[in-house]
Structure 1
Amino acid sequence: MSSTQQYLFNSTHSALNVWQCGRYALPLTQRGRPYIMGVLNVTDDSFSDGGQFVEPAAALARAQEMIAAGADILDIGGESTRPGAQPLSVCQELCRLLPIVDALKDCGVPISIDTYKPYVMREMLALGVDIINDVCGFNNPVSIDAVADSGCGLCIMHMQGKPQTMQEQPSYDNVVVEVADFLALQIERMNFVGIESNRICVDPGIGFGKTLFHNIQLINAIEHIRQQTQAVVLIGASRKRMIGELTGKDVAQRMAGSVATAVYAATRGAHVVRVHDVAETVDALNVWAALSQQA
Structure 2
Amino acid sequence: MNSRLGGVGRQSRGGPLGLPVWDRCAVMGVVNVTPDSFSDGGQWFDPELAVKHGLDLVAQGADLVDVGGESTRPGATRVDAAEELRRVVPVVRELAAAGAVVSVDTMRATVAEQALAAGARLVNDVSGGQADPAMIPVVADAGAPFVVMHWRGQSIDMNNRAVYADVLGEVVAELRAGLDRAVAGGVDPARIVLDPGLGFAKDADHDLALLAHLGELRALGQPLLVAASRKRFLGRVLAGEAGAAPPPARERDAATAAVTAIAAREGAWAVRVHEVHASADAVRVARAIEAAGRPDGPNAPDGPHQPEEPGEPVA
**TM-score interval w.r.t. the shorter chain?**
0.7 to 0.9
Measured against aligned partners, the alpha-carbon deviations of 1:199-238 in whole angstroms (never above 9, x if no partner) come to 100000000000111101111222111112x111000000
Check the 8 A contact 1:83/1:165 in 2, yes or no: yes
What corresponds to 1:183 in structure 2? Answer: 175
**More strand per residue:** 1
The aligned residue for residue 282 of structure 1 is: 280
- Structure of larger gyration radius: 2
Per the alignment, residue 148 of structure 2 pairs with: 156
SS of corresponding position for 2:159: coil
Is 1:227–2:214 an aligned residue pair?
no
Contact kept, 8 Å, 2:149 with 2:194, in 1: the verdict is yes
> Which deviates further from its counterpart, 259-268 or 73-82?
259-268
Structure 2: gaps spanning 5 or more residues: 1-8, 240-246, 294-315
Q: SS of the counterpart of 2:142?
A: coil
Secondary structure of 1:113 counterpart: strand
1:196 match: 188
Structure 1 21/281 Cα, relative in aligned 2: closer, same or farther at 3 Å? Answer: farther
Change (3 A) 1:106 1:83: same
State the TM-score, normalized to the length of structure 2: 0.82
Alpha-carbon separation, structure 2, partners of 1:264 and 1:284: 9
Change (3 A) 1:39 1:172: same
Q: Which residue of the other structure, out of 90, 95, 100, is the alignment partner of 2:86? A: 95
Give 1:266's match in structure 2, choosing from 264, 267, 290: 264
Runs of 4+ in structure 1 deviating by more than 3 angstroms, as ranges, are: 18-25
Structure 1 unaligned runs (5+)? 1-8, 10-17
Q: How many residues align?
A: 275
**C-alpha RMSD of the superposition:** 1.9
Decide whether the 8 Å contact of 2:19 with 2:191 is kept in 1: no
SS of residue paired to 2:31: strand
Match of 2:199 among 196, 207, 210: 207
Structure 1 residues 83, 45: closer, same or farther in 2, change over 3 A?
Answer: same
CA contact under 8 A between 2:140 and 2:188: conserved in structure 1? no
Helix, strand or coil: the match of 1:162?
A: coil
Aligned to 1:6: none
2-side partners of 1:106 and 1:284: how far apart?
A: 29
Letter in 2 for 1:202: L
How much has 1:107 moved relative to structure 2? 2.9
* Within-5 A mapping of 1:2-21: 20=14
Q: Identity over the aligned pairs, expressed in percent?
A: 36
- How far off is 1:269 after superposition? 2.6
Q: Using CA pairs below 8 Å that are at least 6 residues apart, which structure has the higher relative contact order?
A: 1
| CA–CA separation in structure 2 for the residues paired with 1:61 and 1:191 | 36
1:80 and 2:74 matched: no
Give the deviation of 1:20 after TM superposition. 4.7
